[in-house]
């Protein structure tokens, strides 16, 4: 009887050793599989990142929905955003005005005398163009801010310490009033 018990215990020990060897092999295979999977994910994330950082256009449609696209949509005044521009910062409009030319009065006369009134008039016109461009930009920002304030119930902002917090209803109303005032001052007609 003692011999049978010893033989049974020996078989159990052999079965246990075989099962431990199988388990060890499975664990090694799983480790290799996990390393391979992690490598694949890292490579995939590296190839996707440049596509995420691409330039894009953003605009608000007639329903007040902000849209994003890689191409400028026909029929909308879309804002071009580059990968180097910080999110939420207004874009700088491209200055498409040509380099200042020599004053017409100076070029026509061929003399060294300068008509101060003509130069002042040219500067005044250039300043009017810059002011109109700034007003247009401020108008767009005011409209966008008001639309966001009215569309979203909770708005998160950063305080002076850099910590995020939600605007209170009073703060939200004050910002909406401020946006309306900006629209009144800067939007034409």
**Both tokens of residue 104?**
């017409």
Q: What is the pLDDT of residue 176?
A: 92
How is the chain split into domains, by residue range? 95-186
Q: What is the pLDDT of residue 96?
A: 46
Cα 39 from chain centroid? Answer: 28
The pTM is what?
0.39
**Closest by Cα among 57, 58, 134, 143 to 95:** 134
What is the rounded distance in angstroms from the CA atom of residue 164 to the CA atom of residue 170? 17
User: What digits encode the pLDDT tens for the residues 72-84?
Assistant: 888 888 887 776 6
Q: What is the pLDDT of residue 6?
A: 61
Q: Are 99 and 85 in contact (CB under 8 A)?
A: no
What is the rounded distance in angstroms from the CA atom of residue 187 to the CA atom of residue 145? 14
User: What digits encode the pLDDT tens for the residues 41-62?
Assistant: 777 776 655 545 567 788 888 8
With a cut of 50, list the residues of the chain below it in pLDDT: 51, 94-97, 99, 103, 105-107, 109
**Buried residues in 154-185 as b, exposed as e (16+ CB within 10 A):** eeeeeeeeeeeeebeeeebeebeeebeebbee
**Closest by Cα among 134, 139, 128 to 188:** 139
Q: Are 146 and 112 in contact (CB under 8 A)?
A: no
Q: 3-state class of 86 per DSSP? A: coil
């Amino acid at each position: 009887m003692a011999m049978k018990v010893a033989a049974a215990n020996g078989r159990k020990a052999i079965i246990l050793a075989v099962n431990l060897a199988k388990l060890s092999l499975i664990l090694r295979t799983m480790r290799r599989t996990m390393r391979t999977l992690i490598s694949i994910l890292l490579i995939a994330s590296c190839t996707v990142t440049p596509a995420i950082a691409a330039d894009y256009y953003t605009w608000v449609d007639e329903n007040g929905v902000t849209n994003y696209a890689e191409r400028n949509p026909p029929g909308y005044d879309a804002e071009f955003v580059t990968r180097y521009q910080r999110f939420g910062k207004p874009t700088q409009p491209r200055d498409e005005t040509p380099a200042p030319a020599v004053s017409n009065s100076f070029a026509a006369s061929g003399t060294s005398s300068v008509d101060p009134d003509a130069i002042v008039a040219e500067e005044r016109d250039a300043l009017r163009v810059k002011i109109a461009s700034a007003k247009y930009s401020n108008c767009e920002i005011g409209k966008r801010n008001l639309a966001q304030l009215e569309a979203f119930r909770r708005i998160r902002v950063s305080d002076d310490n850099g910590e995020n917090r939600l605007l209170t209803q009073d703060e939200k109303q004050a910002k909406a009033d401020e946006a309306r005032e900006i629209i009144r001052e800067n939007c034409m007609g």
